[in-house]
Amino acid sequence: MVHEKQYWKQVFWMATILAFGFGLLGFFDRMANGHLHADYGSYVPWGLWVAGYIYLIGLSAGAFLMSALVYVFRIEAFEKIGRLALLTALATLIGALLCIWFDLGHMGRAWRLVARTNFGSVMGWMAWLYGSYFVLLLFEFRFATRAELTAHHSVRTTSPLVQKLVGFDPTQPEAHPVEKDLKVLRILGSVGIPLAIAFHGSVGAIFGSVGARPYWNSGLTPIIFLVGAATSGGALLALVTAVFGIRTQREQDRRIVYLIGRLVLVLLAMDVLLEWSEMSIGLWSSLPSESESIRLVLFGHFWWVFWFVHVGFGILVPGLLLLFKPRSLTAVALAGLLITVTFISVRLNIVIPALAVPELEGLRYAFTGPGLKFDYFPSLMEWQLFLFTISLSAMVFLAGIQWLPVVDYSVENPGSEGGK
């Protein structure tokens, strides 16, 4: 069992380090040359990094909402994966914030989002919501892991600062504040649910409120974002639980993954329903301003992204796996992997097509220059930097399960053993 877990950890570490190395080139390019080597520009001002940001933030919100099942609703079946869900949410949040930070024209001015907030703008709220969410996640993670950390012998001999950080009280070394911590976790989780809905709904509202882009401008957009977040975040959690979170030999543990699989199947079905509603209404309305973007998604230059990547490998294959192999660990994990990885195509198909349709006839050829075009495909530097942020997220996650008591392999008494 331990060997199997070690094997997967090594595989993931290797892949992460490779991605990091490759992504580092993009990071240096971005730092040295700014936006010069990016393919987005004036007419398609948002590209892969914005899509990557909403993708990662969706994963974070989804994983966090799954953790709420443990800490708020106290669903025992999921008890073992509470900390894993929190760590997943934290790691993907870091990646998302890095992704959007690199996208800014002036990275050094990001602090103004807090200092000079325009609360009349949906985007103005984001820094505050993310800030609150980040702090909440850190606190929740601290309380969720305190019992195990304080029980660890190395904590008793470490510096007072570290002791304070992990919540170890040297005057009461034998105290086990598990119940107290669970109460705090319930409160934090209860605050976190509306917060997660608010911030990810707001990400949807950033797009939904843009009246100039009919493809985005819909009251359904924030809802689609939320359901998409829960679907992709749940799928990621199914994957990491199957690979890192359980003792695969134990039927009881495997049931956790099966349950997440069923939940993901329902969410996937809801996501498909919303997507169908949005696209079919847009097409039937026949107003070119909106239907052109949808046609671009379905039949444009990158039609295969929608049909093969999203519908094929993001809906059909995982849907069939979850439907017909709901009690196969490999099938559920594979479905989780497919949904998680292919969901970036969903995010790209939200961001790009709305921008790739000229707002005024004749604009396409009116003037030329870098960025004055409506055809966008992420440049190598953009892919590299995106991979860089993904690898950083993965490193945070892998370091967490490696060195912190996140994963609980115990049999009888969950929460009493460290996860190393």
Partner 1 sequence: MAEEQKTVQTVEQSTGLSPDEENRMRERRELLQKIGSGVFASLLMSPLMATPIKEALTAPDTTQKLTSLPEVPEGQPDEDPIIRMVRDLKRALQKPMEERKWSMVIDLRKCVGCHACTVGCIAENKLPPGVVYRPVLEEEIGTFPHVARRFIPRPCMQCEEPPCTTVCPVNATWKRKDGIVEIDYDQCIGCRYCITACPYSARTFDTGHYYTEDAPSQPAGYLGSADARVYETAPNYDYGQERPRVDEQSPIGNARKCHFCVHRLEKGMLPECVVTCIGRATFFGDANDPESLVSELIPQPNVMRLKEEMGTKPKVHYLM
Site residues for partner 1 per CB under 8 A: 33-36, 38, 40-43, 45-46, 103-106, 109-110, 112-113, 116-118, 120-124, 126-127, 206, 209-213, 354-355, 358-363, 365-367, 369-372
CB of 239 to partner 1, least distance (A): 32
CB-wise, 100 or 265, nearer to partner 1?
A: 100
CA distance 39 to 377: 7
Task: Name the minimum Å distance from CB 353 to partner 1.
Answer: 13
Of 35 and 152, which has the nearer Cβ to partner 1?
35
Q: How far is the CB of 296 from partner 1 (least distance, A)?
A: 16
By C-beta, is 29 or 253 nearer to partner 1?
29
Q: How far is the CB of 209 from partner 1 (least distance, A)?
A: 8
Nearer to partner 1 (CB atom), residue 125 or residue 386:
125
Quote the least distance from Cβ 45 to partner 1, whole Å.
4
Nearer residue to partner 1 within complex by CB, 83 or 213:
213
Cβ nearer to partner 1, comparing 34 with 173:
34
Residue 297 CB, nearest approach to partner 1 (Å):
17
Token code pair at residue 253: 């543990």
In the complex, minimum distance from the CB of residue 302 to partner 1, in angstroms, rounded to a whole number:
20
Long-range contacts of 11-14 (CB under 8 A, 24+ apart): 12/243, 12/394, 12/398, 13/398
- Give whichever of 200 and 213 is closer to partner 1, judged by the CB atom: 213
